[in-house]
Chain A
Amino acid sequence: MSALVLCAAVFGLGLYVVLTRRELIAVLAGAELMLGAANVQLVSFASMSGVPGESAQALALMVLVVAAAEVGVGMAIIVTLSRRSARSRTDDLQEVNG
Chain B
Amino acid sequence: MSLLAGNPLSVVALPFALALLIAAGGKKFVSITQWLAVVAPVAAALAGVGVLASSVPTAAQDVAWLSQGGSVVTAGLAIDNLTAVMLVIVGVVATCVVVFSIGYMADDDARPRYFALLALFTGAMSMLVMASSLVTLFIGWELVGACSYLLIGFWYRKPSASAAAVKAFLTTRIGDVGMLLGLALLWRVTGSLSIPEVLAAAPEIGAGIVTVIALLLFVGAAGKSAQFPLHIWLPDAMEGPTPVSALIHAATMVAAGVFLVVRMWPVFEVAPIALDVVLVVGVVTAFFAATVACVQLDIKKVLAYSTISQLGFMFAALGAGATGAAMFHLTTHAAFKALLFLGSGSVIHAVETQDIREMGGLLKKMPVTGTTWLIGVWALSGLPLLSGFFSKDGVIASVLHAAPLAGYALIAASLLTAFYAFRVTWFVFFGSYRGSAHPHEGGLVMTAPLIALAVPAIALGYFSAPFMQSLGHEAEALDPVVAGVSVTVAVIGVLLAAALYRLGVDRLETERTSLGPVHGVLFSAYGVDSFVTRFLVAPLEKVASWFYEVVDRKVIDGAAEGTAKLTMLFGRLASGLQTGETDVYASLLGVGFVVLMSIAIWLGR
Contact = CB atoms under 8 A, between A and B. Distances in A.
B586 A15 contact: yes
A27 B580 CA distance: 16
Nearest to B583: A19
A94 B580 CA distance: 5
A54 to B, nearest CB: 30
A15 B590 contact: yes
B67 interface: no
Contacts of B590: 15, 19
Contacts of A47: none
A21 to B, nearest CB: 9
A96 interface: yes
A97 B583 contact: no
Interface in A69-98: 90-91, 93-98
Interface in A6-47: 15, 18-20, 27
B583 A96 contact: no
Interface string B567-585: 0000000000011111101
B580 A19 contact: no
Nearest to B590: A15
A91 B585 CA distance: 12
Contacts of A91: 581
A18 B585 CA distance: 11
Interface string B124-152: 00000000000000000000000000000
A90 B580 CA distance: 9
B65 to A, nearest CB: 68
Contacts of B581: 90-91, 94
B580 A95 contact: yes
Interface in B495-543: none
Interface in B559-605: 578-583, 585-587, 590
A96 B580 CA distance: 5
A34 to B, nearest CB: 11
A96 B586 CA distance: 13
B contacts with A: majority SS? helix
A97 B586 contact: no
Contacts of A20: 583
Contacts of B583: 18-20, 90
A98 B586 contact: no
> By CB atoms of chain B within 10 A, which of A94, A96, A97 has the most?
A97
Nearest to A15: B590
B588 to A, nearest CB: 11
A91 B590 CA distance: 19
A94 B579 CA distance: 8
B580 to A, nearest CB: 3
A16 B198 CA distance: 92
Contacts of A18: 583, 586
Contact of A19 (B578, B579, B587): B587
Contacts of A96: 580, 582, 585
Contacts of B587: 19
Which residue, of A19, A20, A93, A98, has the highest number of chain B Cβ atoms within 10 A?
A: A19
A27 B578 CA distance: 20
Nearest to A91: B581
B282 to A, nearest CB: 84
A37 to B, nearest CB: 15
Contacts of B579: 97
Nearest to B579: A97
By CB atoms of chain A within 10 A, which of B578, B581, B587 has the most? Answer: B581
A40 to B, nearest CB: 19
Contacts of A15: 586, 590
A35 B581 CA distance: 22
Contacts of B580: 93-97
Interface in B168-212: none
A47 to B, nearest CB: 24
A70 B246 CA distance: 104
A91 B579 CA distance: 10
B595 to A, nearest CB: 15
A19 B579 CA distance: 15
A41 to B, nearest CB: 15
B579 to A, nearest CB: 6
A93 B580 CA distance: 8
A91 B584 CA distance: 10
A23 to B, nearest CB: 12
B366 to A, nearest CB: 95
A20 B580 CA distance: 15
A44 B586 CA distance: 27
A20 B581 CA distance: 11
A43 B579 CA distance: 38
Contacts of A97: 578-580
Nearest to A98: B578
A31 to B, nearest CB: 10
A39 to B, nearest CB: 19
Contacts of A94: 580-581
Interface string B285-299: 000000000000000
A82 to B, nearest CB: 17
Contacts of B578: 97-98
Nearest to B587: A19
A27 B590 CA distance: 15
B592 to A, nearest CB: 13
Nearest to B593: A15
Contacts of A19: 583, 586-587, 590
Interface of B: 578-583, 585-587, 590
9 contacts: A15-B590, A19-B587, A90-B581, A90-B582, A91-B581, A94-B581, A96-B582, A97-B580, A98-B578
Query: Across chains A and B, which 8 residue pairs bring their CB atoms closest together, nearest first?
Result: A97-B580, A94-B580, A97-B578, A19-B583, A90-B582, A96-B580, A18-B586, A19-B586
Given A15-B590, A18-B583, A97-B578, 12 more contacts: A19-B587, A19-B590, A20-B583, A27-B582, A90-B581, A90-B583, A93-B580, A93-B582, A94-B581, A95-B580, A96-B580, A96-B585
